[in-house]
Amino acid sequence: MELSGQVAIVTGAGRGIGRATALALARRGIVVVLVSRTRPEIDSVASEAEAVGATALPVVADLGQEDEVAGMVDRTLQAYGRVDILVNNAGIALPERPVVDTSLADWERILRVNLTGPFLCARAVLPIMMRQQSGKIINVASIGGRMGIAGIAAYGAAKAGLLHFTASLAAEVKRFGIDVNAVCPSGTDTRMLHEAGRAKGRTNLIRPEEIANVILFLVSPESSAITGTAIDAYGMSNPLFGPLLPGGK
């Protein structure tokens, strides 16, 4: 799996799946650009990446803002001159609430971060990848984009949109040597899941490192036959094995 020297942008890299993915890439000798709105978190991950011999660049950016996304990509180009991999992982979730109690502001914030953000990031790196005639874009979606789950309509709608965006973009850019795929985790042991109240009492959560390994495969040459698809990575939280949450939720 020869990846050394490639340049990867990982959004939401300060914790959870983003941190695990950034470190998995770093261990393969990939230069990692760590993007988050929280400086201390990405500085810490940058130190971890450098400890395994990788080069890391932490960049603070709000990925729902077009100018900040452009600035993040410009910094990457200035530092390294290329972009080989984009992992659109940054996302937010709300505590469970019915649609009737969801404000327009919360709906729009979920869509801006979870759907518009990946669109802006992909659009910003595509001209670079098209010139290179190569690239890998991975969108981190969710089981919530595959099936309806009570209480997370805004989140699920954004992730379902991200899956359709993945397939449509893949169809557009394959002729440029760019592969676009998505990963759909189920319950993963992240701070976001705990803060949303969806981890209480569960013993079947996936480790972020397990999702990172799926992403690592998708950015590798070994995944050359795969584009425009979404891989369901549910682990023991697969609905086949029982309810998603205690009490059958």
Among candidate residues 90, 153, 136, the one with its CA nearest the CA of residue 116: 90
228-245 mean pLDDT: 80
- Our answer to whether residue 234 is catalytic in this structure is no
Does 1 fall in a domain?
no
pLDDT surpassing 80 at residue 80: yes
- pLDDT at 188 (0 to 100): 62
Does 71 fall in a domain?
yes
Does 84 fall in a domain?
yes
Does 248 fall in a domain?
no
210-223 mean pLDDT: 96
- Return d(Cα 196, Cα 100) in angstroms, integer: 18
Boundaries of domain holding 155? 7-237
110-135 mean pLDDT: 97
96-105 mean pLDDT: 94
Q: What's the structural domain count of the chain?
A: 1
The reported pTM is 0.91
pLDDT surpassing 50 at residue 247: no
Does 28 fall in a domain?
yes
- pLDDT at 248 (0 to 100): 44
177-204 mean pLDDT: 74
Does 244 fall in a domain?
no
What CATH number should be reported for the domain holding residue 233?
Answer: 3.40.50.720
Catalytic residue among 34, 155, 181, 186: 155
pLDDT surpassing 90 at residue 78: yes
- pLDDT at 28 (0 to 100): 95
Does 133 fall in a domain?
yes
- pLDDT at 192 (0 to 100): 64
169-194 mean pLDDT: 86
202-223 mean pLDDT: 89
Q: What is the pLDDT of residues 28-74, one digit of tens each?
A: 999 999 999 989 999 999 999 999 999 999 999 999 999 999 999 99
What 3 state SS string does the chain have? CCCCCCEEEEECCCCHHHHHHHHHHHHCCCEEEEEECCHHHHHHHHHHHHHCCCCEEEEECCCCCHHHHHHHHHHHHHHHCCCCEEEECCCCCCCCCCHHHCCHHHHHHHHHHHHHHHHHHHHHHHHHHHHHCCEEEEEECCHHHCCCCCCCHHHHHHHHHHHHHHHHHHHHHHHHCEEEEEEEECCECCHHHHHCCCCCCCCCCECHHHHHHHHHHHCCHHHCCCCCCEEEECHHHCHHHCCCCHHHC
Does 247 fall in a domain?
no
**Side chain identity at 155, as an amino acid letter?**
Y
- pLDDT at 194 (0 to 100): 53
- pLDDT at 234 (0 to 100): 83
- Return d(Cα 30, Cα 22) in angstroms, integer: 9
